[in-house]
């Protein structure tokens, strides 16, 4: 058996295909630039051995022994992170990015328009006194702002190339916030007026966010931020009024 095995290996070494593989193997080891991998090299070696085994002068048993010498090196792939593992920016980060992308006039004018809302409860809280005149001025300014947000839909729907059609839905919805603002001015109680304006601001925000998706993202983020500040300011004024009334009743 050993002599037959030696003859088989000797014949394989002089076979032209084995000489070709013998020349290619060092290039794969040293340079690594050839697209032939060790696994494909081993598969080619098996094919050559199997082709030799079909000749009548070779015994199939020795072919099996030759195949035992075949080894293929593992091919290590670089693990790529899964899509679920990639960190995406959160809602707050995306909102900040959208605000930075907004036009400067729209951003600065919107922030400046919030000053009358914030200054009223802030000044009363600093002085520790509730002023009905300041509270009514805030309600008046809130009614004007809500009417402006409602009429803005008309300006968006009237141009011919606008994605919003001037139909009953868009034009009628723009009338709802001004009606709420008018009703807020009819109340004698500041708390009721503030609650009515909060409802009107919520309806206007719902229209701009849900019913009109063609608005750019920066405008929607700006609308959400402005609505939150206005609502908190109105509620703060109503809370200061309630606290002032409670303190006066207890002092008596």
Question: Over the stretch 175-223, which tens digit does the pLDDT of each residue have?
Answer: 999 999 999 999 999 999 999 999 999 999 998 888 776 788 899 899 9
- What average pLDDT score do residues 124-151 get? 95
Of the candidates 206, 217, 203, the residue with the CA atom closest to the CA atom of residue 147: 203
In the three-class reduction of DSSP (H, G, I as helix; E, B as strand; rest coil), residue 193 is classed as helix
Question: Over the stretch 148-175, which tens digit does the pLDDT of each residue have?
Answer: 999 888 888 888 888 888 888 888 888 9
Please enumerate in sequence order all residues whose Cβ is within 8 A of that of 83, keeping only pairs 6 or more positions apart, or say none. none
Q: Angle formed by the axes of helices 60-67 and 2-14, to 10°?
A: 70
- Indicate the average pLDDT of the chain: 76
**pTM summary value:** 0.63
């Amino acid at each position: 058996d050993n002599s037959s095995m030696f003859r088989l290996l000797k014949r394989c070494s002089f076979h032209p295909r084995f000489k070709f593989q013998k020349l290619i193997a060092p290039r794969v080891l040293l340079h690594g630039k050839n697209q032939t991998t060790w696994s494909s090299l081993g598969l080619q070696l098996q094919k050559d051995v199997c082709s030799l085994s079909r000749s009548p002068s070779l015994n199939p048993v020795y072919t099996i022994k030759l195949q035992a010498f075949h080894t293929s090196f593992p091919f290590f792939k670089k693990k790529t992170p899964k899509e679920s593992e990639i960190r995406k920016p959160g809602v707050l980060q995306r909102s900040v990015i959208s605000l930075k992308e907004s036009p400067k006039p729209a951003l600065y004018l919107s922030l400046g328009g919030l000053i009358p809302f914030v200054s009223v409860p802030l000044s009363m809280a600093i002085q520790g006194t509730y002023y009905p005149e300041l509270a009514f001025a805030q309600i008046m300014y809130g009614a004007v702002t809500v009417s402006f947000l409602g009429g803005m839909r008309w300006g968006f729907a009237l141009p011919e190339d606008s994605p919003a059609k001037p139909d009953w839905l868009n034009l009628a919805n723009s009338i709802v916030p001004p009606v709420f603002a008018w009703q807020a001015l009819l109340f004698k109680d500041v708390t009721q007026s503030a609650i009515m304006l909060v409802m009107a601001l919520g309806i206007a925000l719902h229209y701009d966010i849900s019913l009109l998706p063609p608005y750019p993202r920066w405008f929607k983020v700006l609308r959400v931020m402005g609505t939150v500040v206005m609502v908190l300011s109105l509620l703060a004024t109503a809370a200061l009024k309630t606290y002032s009334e409670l303190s006066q009743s207890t002092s008596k």
